[in-house]
Amino acid sequence: MPIDTRAPLLAAPEHEDLRRALRRFLTSAASVTRARAHAEGEEFDRAVWLRLADELGVTGLGIPEEFGGVGFGLTEQAVVLEELGRELYGGPYLASVVLGAAALLAAGDRAAQEKLLPGIAAGETVATLAAAGVDGEWRVGGPTGVVAREREGGWVLDGSCTHVPDATVADVLLVLADTEQGRGLFVLPAGSPGLSVADLSALDQTRRFSRVELRGAAAECAGTPGDGDRVLAAVLDRAAVALGAEQLGGAARCLELAVEYAKVRHQFGEPIGRFQAIKHLCADMYLAVESSRSAVMFASRALDEETAEAGAAASLTKAWCSDAFLQCAGDAMQIHGGIGYTWECDVQLYFKRAQSSKHLFGGPAHHRDTLAARLGL
């Protein structure tokens, strides 16, 4: 497969403006300190979320203008996700704006889009997607735990779904469920009778996952029953790149933390950053970060422009950024020494996020195997 690099490329000045504004905002209002508080039980701060939506306009970026968004693509969203990833932001950006909006757009149900997308774009509606298999893996064709039955002109859902991100703060749930015609996408509002949401204890406490139970809960079908696998495939390619961008941000921040610490921590009468053992770890982290950046740039463009290698680029990006983030978080911990292994050091939060994100939307080995298939192997 050719690797098409003829399309124009470069971070546009507008991207850098967005990045600067977002970084300023997050550092003051939603830094990793808030992520730590969120991890230790603090409630989702809807005020910060709405400021992200209103003041910075990040929730509407990837949603078409006809549905109240700005009409940009993954290329612009990647900038946002990278910045959110730097601070381990715990809000539902991935759940609502990436998964929720992508599922609605892929399902192609005009009525559902008109009803939900403007709210998602404005940040006023928080959506999430329940589509992991019973084993927690997000995989096209995997075993789903939810069944949808037609009843009195509508649909009723039964079963359960694990690994649902940010379901406790969601206003609307999108659920992938099996029907007699095949898999389909269903929509129901939070608080529906027969719907219950329970927080799961997660290795990474900065991102909330829930188990969703459905006992005869009424839902509407978005799009066509039987079209669910195609919808999930489209969503997962976008989610892979979006999460890759978030992982890139986390990796870059770990490198910064490591380098800052190596400059001020003295041993044997000199900063440890003067030792080649430390320098070489940092240089390899830098390469991991910049190669991840190349992957994210490549894949986000490829998906936005729907090039032939878009799917391969998405798989490559999720596998690559997963490995890079864990490498950077782990090496940052190593460079911090004993303090890096403590609960109070932020590096541990990145380390847990890295391992957890590595297996969200498919682990590296899965994505490399998918990539091989997409290369015709």
Partner 1 sequence: MTDTMQYGDDAAEEFRGSVREWITENAPPELTGVFDWRTREIPGYRVEQIVEAKRHPAHVEWERRCVEGGFVCPLWPVAAGGRGWNRVQKAIFEEELHAAGVPRIDRGMGEFLVGPTIVARGTAEQQARLLPPIISGQHRYCQGFSEPEYGSDLAGLQTRGAVDGDELVVTGQKIWTSGAVDANMIFLLCRTDPAAAKHRGLTFAVAEFGPHNGFDVRPIRQMSGAYDFAEEFISGARTPLSNVIGGLGEGWSVAMTTLGLERDFNLPTLSLDFLHEFGRMADRVRESGRNSDPVVRQTLARAWSHVAIMRMFAKRLLADEEGTADMVSSTKLFWSEYHRWVSTEDLDLDGAAGMLRPAGDGYPTTPIQDSFLAARAATIYAGTSQIQRNIIAERVLGLPR
Q: Which two tokens stand for residue 325?
A: 């983030």
- 217 touching partner 1, by CB under 8 A: no
- 251 touching partner 1, by CB under 8 A: no
- 111 touching partner 1, by CB under 8 A: no
Q: How far apart are CA 148 and CA 133, in angstroms?
A: 15
- 22 touching partner 1, by CB under 8 A: no
Shortest approach of partner 1 to residue 14 CB, angstroms? 5
Count of C-beta atoms within a 10 Å radius of residue 9: 11
Residue 67-106 contact track with partner 1, rule CB under 8 A, x = bound: -----x--xx------------------------------
Shortest approach of partner 1 to residue 254 CB, angstroms? 13
- 15 touching partner 1, by CB under 8 A: yes
Q: How far apart are CA 239 and CA 355, in angstroms?
A: 17
Q: Residue 35 or residue 316: which is nearer to partner 1 going by CB?
A: 316
Interface with partner 1 (CB under 8 A), residue from 122, 259, 334, 356: 259
- 264 touching partner 1, by CB under 8 A: no
Q: Residue 273 or residue 330: which is nearer to partner 1 going by CB?
A: 273
Number of residues binding to partner 1, judged by CB under 8 A: 55
Shortest approach of partner 1 to residue 351 CB, angstroms? 20
Residue carrying the six token digits 């898999």: 183
> Do the bridges between strand 172-179 and strand 182-189 make them parallel or antiparallel, or are there none, so unpaired?
antiparallel
Closest CA to 343 of 335, 355, 333: 333
Interface with partner 1 (CB under 8 A), residue from 200, 203, 283, 339: 283
Q: Residue 249 or residue 273: which is nearer to partner 1 going by CB?
A: 273
- 286 touching partner 1, by CB under 8 A: yes
Interface with partner 1 (CB under 8 A), residue from 47, 201, 343, 377: 377
- 351 touching partner 1, by CB under 8 A: no
Handedness of CA 140, 144, 148, 149 (dihedral sign): positive
DSSP class of 44: P
Q: Residue 2 or residue 191: which is nearer to partner 1 going by CB?
A: 2
Q: Residue 46 or residue 263: which is nearer to partner 1 going by CB?
A: 263
Cβ neighbors of 153 (< 8 A, separation 6 or more) are: none
Do residues 227 and 185 touch, judged by C-beta distance below 8 A? yes
Closest CA to 244 of 65, 84, 376: 84
Interface with partner 1 (CB under 8 A), residue from 9, 198, 203, 308: 9
Burial of 258 (0-12, 13-18, 19+ CB in 10 A): buried
Shortest approach of partner 1 to residue 50 CB, angstroms? 25
Q: How far apart are CA 188 and CA 219, in angstroms?
A: 5
Closest CA to 215 of 193, 236, 197, 233: 193
Do residues 241 and 297 touch, judged by C-beta distance below 8 A? no
Separation of CA 216 from chain center: 30
- Using DSSP's 3-state secondary structure scheme, residue 91 falls into coil
Shortest approach of partner 1 to residue 71 CB, angstroms? 11
Q: Residue 188 or residue 328: which is nearer to partner 1 going by CB?
A: 328
Q: Which two tokens stand for residue 158?
A: 């039964």
Do residues 35 and 87 touch, judged by C-beta distance below 8 A? yes
* Residue 346: CA count within 13 A, CB half-sphere: 19
**Among the residue ranges 33-41, 133-141, 154-162, 287-295, the one whose residues contact partner 1 (CB under 8 A):** 287-295
- 278 touching partner 1, by CB under 8 A: yes
Element (H, E) at 198: strand 195-199
Interface with partner 1 (CB under 8 A), residue from 13, 41, 191, 193: 13
- 151 touching partner 1, by CB under 8 A: no
**Which residues bind to partner 1, rule: CB under 8 A?**
1-3, 5-10, 12-15, 72, 75-76, 255, 259, 262-263, 270-271, 273-274, 276, 278-280, 282-284, 286-287, 290-291, 294-295, 297-298, 309, 312-313, 315-316, 319-320, 365, 367-369, 371-372, 375-377
